[in-house]
Amino acid sequence: MTEIIPYFTVYASSAIRFILGPALGIGYGLGIGPTILLTTAGMMSTVFSITFFNYIIQIFIQRFFSLKKNKKFTPRTRKFIKIWKYSGVKGVAFITPIVLSPVIGALLLNAVGAKKKEIIKWMLLSGLLWASIESALFYFLGNSLGILT
C-alpha cells in the first residue's frame, strides 16, 4: 500500500497545481518517465472533468457565487482577452501549466466557448511539454546540486 502513495501524491497534486507534480515525483525518486506520465494524467483529469461538466459547473457558480454584480471588464479579464485574441486555445493552453493552474486554464477556455476537442488536444500537448521540461530540470538540477542522491 505504501508503494502507491508517491504515485497518487504526484497525480493528485498535478491536478491542482501543475509544478508540484514534477517536484514531488523527482523528490520521491520515481524517475522522469513515470513523473511525466503522472503529472500529465493529473492535469488532464482536471481538464477533462471541467470541460465535460462545464454546464453543471456554470450553474453551480451562478447559483452560489453570483450574489453581487461583478464588473465584466477588470484589468485581469482584459489581459486574458488580449492573450485569447492573440493566440487562442494554443496560447492559453501553453501558459496554463506554468502561469495558471489546470483548473483556472480549463475554466477560462470553457468560459470563452472554445471547442472541447481543441481544449483537450492543446492542453494534453502543453501538459506533456511542460511536464517533460520541468521533470528534466528537477532531475538534472537535483542530481547536480547533490540534493537527490
- Taking only the tens place, the pLDDT of each residue in 62-81 is 777 765 556 666 777 777 77
Residue 118 structural domain? 5-144
136-to-9, 118, 132 alpha-carbon distances in Å: 19, 27, 6
How many domains does the chain divide into? 1
How many CA atoms within 13 Å lie on the side-chain side of 89?
A: 18
- Taking only the tens place, the pLDDT of each residue in 85-103 is 788 889 889 988 988 889 9
21-to-35, 53, 70, 129 alpha-carbon distances in Å: 7, 24, 34, 14
**Predicted TM-score of the model (pTM):** 0.81
* Cβ(7)–Cβ(36) below 8 Å: no
Q: Tell me whether residue 149 is in a domain.
A: no
Q: Tell me whether residue 135 is in a domain.
A: yes
Whole-angstrom distance, CA of residue 81 vs CA of residue 28: 39
Q: Tell me whether residue 30 is in a domain.
A: yes
Q: Tell me whether residue 26 is in a domain.
A: yes
DSSP state of 146: T
> Which residue type, as a one-letter code, is found at position 28?
Y
* Cβ(44)–Cβ(18) below 8 Å: no
Per-residue pLDDT at 131: 94
Q: Tell me whether residue 56 is in a domain.
A: yes
